[in-house]
Amino acid sequence: MKTYPNDKLIVVGALKGAHGVRGEVRVKSFTADPEDLFNYGPLTDEAGRLVLTPLSARPGNDHFIVKAREQKQKEEWDALKGTLLHVERAQLPSADEGEFYIEDLVGLEVCSVGDVAEGRIKSVQNFGADDLLEIHLITGGGTVFVPFTQADVPEIDLNAGRVQIPDLAQWAEAEDDK
């Protein structure tokens, strides 16, 4: 079983400001099942500081209306509008067989042939079309973007900490040509 650093925080939602004048706050969930957001307990900002401990939640239009343990005035919740809500990676449920969390790819070694690392995944980006792996190349020090498709990334081995990208050199050359 893979373990995760306790300090690795994953974004699971965002504050949308106050709801009314009774101290409730509007929260947008980014989880696959939106209600799962409230199963993780206290939610923090990117620095790990407590932002919100949900006591109850009810659905709104595209968000939830949340009663929080933290007592804040309308103006205080409104000042936090846009704050991303995080949980520790270790709190998330295990992925099913053959599935993984995108965030778990960051930091994995990239090999094209054999077990010799040629790069490391720096981030997973989406500029509006499909996901792209941003790979920091070990030789040359530059980065290259590779489409995150089954054809381009046929093997992901989280336990070994490695992904296979057979045509990595081709993607690096295409980037150099730009």
pLDDT tens digits, 97-130: 877 888 889 999 999 887 889 999 999 988 877 8
pLDDT tens digits, 56-93: 999 999 999 999 999 999 999 999 999 999 999 888 88
pLDDT tens digits, 18-67: 998 888 999 999 988 999 999 999 999 999 999 999 999 999 999 999 99
Class of 102-177 per CATH?
Answer: mainly beta
Return the pLDDT at 116: 86
**1 DSSP 8-state letter:** -
Compute CA distances 36 → 97, 116, 161, whole Å: 20, 39, 28
Tell me, yes or no, if the pTM score tops 0.85: no
Pick the CATH number of 9-91 from 1.25.40.340, 2.40.30.60, 3.40.1790.10, 3.40.50.300: 2.40.30.60
What are the residue ranges spanned by the domains of the chain? 9-91, 102-177
